[in-house]
Structure 1
Amino acid sequence: MSDQREPSVVSGKSFTAVAINCAAKAGEWIKTKLGNYNRLDTKYSSHDLVTEVDKGSEQLIKKLVLTHFPHHSFLGEEGVEPGPEASAQALADKSEAEYLWIVDPIDGTTNFVHGFPFFVVSIALAYKGEVIVGVVYDPMKDELFLAEKGKGAYVSGKRMQVSKEETLSSSLIATGFPADHLYALPLNLKGIQALAPQVRNLRSSGSAALHMAYVAAGRLTGFWEIGLNSWDLAAGSLLVQESGGIVTDTQGKSYHLGVRNVAASNGLMHEPFLKALAVAEATE
């Protein structure tokens, strides 16, 4: 058994080094394009934006990854047709992959388009369906959030730990406003209406990966959102878990790559957090 596992262990550091290098290079390039993109298109809805910078960032990352690991599989947002069905199918098509890189080349494209400085590069590596490396890079703040399975999580080299709030009333919670206006947005708005009076306050930066990183860093107590994709969550899920937090779906089931309705928290207030969403019928 040990002989079979040794290659994965030996190459673990290089996996992480490549993920960091890809995120840094893509982030640096994205930053140079702020306010300087040429083409803006919509995808699933008028609120689901894409530019040539998203596509260029993904190509840059994919080329670097496959240069180092040509036999690995790659799943990037811009290589998938818009819509939840296509996203689920794209992930299913890669379900047999031993090593799968899961990439959101710009999480927070709407922010990028408007020059609102909250967008990140999100890169995860899953081994047989389990995330083993997660990197979220914020180029505007030059903050790198990094986690390796079983080795903890760090921001700019400093060990991260989730916050210590034990109640909803003392919690700062984040969510988003989904592009899917028929299903996801109404549910999220029901959750917002229910939670707003119960928590210290709510925030929305417009980037799920950044929200997850902030939960890991103790800057947010929790985060939930309906209708996300594997590339929004994979890296952030490991960041939260390796910082001592909990990631489940909105019904409390364990996180896996197929989760679309997510709840992440410091763990201490996870149960009342989920209960509040359930009472509001805002979980699925």
Structure 2
Amino acid sequence: MPTHPFTDNQAWLGLLKQIRQLGQQEIQQRFQQVSATHKQDGSLLTEADTATQAAVKTYLAKHWPQFAFLGEESDHTSQQAALESASGCWVLDPVDGTTNFAHGIDVYALSLALVIEGQVVAGLVYDPARDELFHARLGLGAFCNERPLTSETNSITQLNRAVGVIDFKRLPKPMASALATEPPYASQRSFGSVALDWCWIAAGRGEVYLHGSQSLWDYVAGWLILNEAGGRSATLNGETVFTPSLIKRSAVAATSPSLMALWQTHLNSINQ
């Protein structure tokens, strides 16, 4: 396991406290008070995105200057350089769920992870609207605020009783059509924040998950949190979701290994 500052509990608690403060200050205080513009890829950008990234980057550089910084709102060249840093890098999505944020829907989050030597060693996702801070360190479990997250607390073991968190937009059309017309789960939701999707599955607010294309900053912190909570995930091709790369990844996940096996079996049956 790579060495990092957050094996020390005080350093970790200090980071969590500061991210909570910045989330309230830079994101929540701007909710329903800012307008949005469109980026080149058509996605939305608000003052909260740019201000939060700047504030978090400044804080991290002051306290842990040894790590490079990769933010969603950084340019591609600097993102790639940060990933290639020998010392490791922070990966930040300042406001995951900007479309929700810009439309007055209170489902959005700040997502931050630390990647060292190709491993995600720490991750946190802060939901400022609910003041919920999901966090995990490699090998040390996952939490929502102070409450441990574990798949053992979820009693749903059958796919036909599960709630599916499904993003249809980016799925292969035949798969999306099959799931929409013959759903194998009891009910379906789509919330518009990838980072919170992962965390809410980890917390048992849904049992199975599917998304066709996620950027590194969308999923990396939530991926660690779900893993540390005892959940399971893979791409549609059965590969590990996390890779230290800017290439987008699909995601299949579930609250437990047994439910993951059932979910993958069903998806494979309609993906042939």
Q: Do these two structures clear the TM 0.5 threshold for a shared fold by scoring above it?
A: yes
Deviating runs (4+, > 6 A) in structure 1?
Answer: 4-7
CA distance in 2, matches of 1:251, 1:18: 35
Relative to 1, partners in 2 of residues 1:247 and 1:157: Cα closer, same or farther, differing over 3 Å?
same
1:65-116 C-alpha deviation (Å, 9 max, x unpaired): 11101121111101135xxxx8xx9347613433211111000000000110
Alignment of 1:105-254 (within 5 A): 105-162=94-151, 163-176=154-167, 178=169, 185=170, 187=172, 189-196=173-180, 197-254=183-240
Residue 51 of structure 2 is aligned to residue 70 of structure 1:
no
Contact 1:251-1:274 within 8 A present in 2 as well? no
Contact 1:122-1:235 within 8 A present in 2 as well? yes
Please name the residue that 2:44 is paired with. 49
Structure 2 length as normaliser, TM-score? 0.87
Q: Give SS of 1:55's match.
A: helix
Q: 2:262 aligns with which of 251, 272, 278?
A: 272
- Identical counterparts, % of pairs: 27
CA distance in 2, matches of 1:106, 1:148: 21
Alignment of 1:93-108 (within 5 A): 94-108=83-97
Amino acid at match of 1:80: D
CA distance in 1, matches of 2:212, 2:17: 28
CA distance in 1, matches of 2:241, 2:171: 23
1:91-148 C-alpha deviation (Å, 9 max, x unpaired): 4761343321111100000000011010011111112121111111111111111111
Relative to 1, partners in 2 of residues 1:160 and 1:200: Cα closer, same or farther, differing over 3 Å?
same
Contact 1:19-1:123 within 8 A present in 2 as well? no
Amino acid at match of 2:58: K
Q: Give SS of 2:204's match.
A: coil
Relative to 1, partners in 2 of residues 1:36 and 1:15: Cα closer, same or farther, differing over 3 Å?
same
Contact 1:176-1:225 within 8 A present in 2 as well? yes
Between the two proteins, the alignment pairs up a number of residues equal to 264
Structure 1 regions of 5+ residues with no counterpart? 179-184
Alpha-carbon shift at residue 23 of structure 1 (Å): 4.4
Alpha-carbon shift at residue 51 of structure 1 (Å): 1.3
Q: Give SS of 1:215's match.
A: helix
Please name the residue that 2:18 is paired with. 21
Relative to 1, partners in 2 of residues 1:195 and 1:271: Cα closer, same or farther, differing over 3 Å?
farther
Please name the residue that 1:30 is paired with. 27
Structure 1 length as normaliser, TM-score? 0.84
Alpha-carbon shift at residue 12 of structure 1 (Å): 6.3
Relative to 1, partners in 2 of residues 1:79 and 1:23: Cα closer, same or farther, differing over 3 Å?
farther
Amino acid at match of 1:238: L
Structure 2 regions of 5+ residues with no counterpart? none
Relative to 1, partners in 2 of residues 1:225 and 1:171: Cα closer, same or farther, differing over 3 Å?
same
CA distance in 2, matches of 1:280, 1:92: 39
Amino acid at match of 1:268: S
RMSD of the alignment, in Å? 2.5
Alpha-carbon shift at residue 41 of structure 1 (Å): 2.0
CA distance in 1, matches of 2:113, 2:2: 20
Q: 2:53 aligns with which of 50, 58, 66?
A: 58
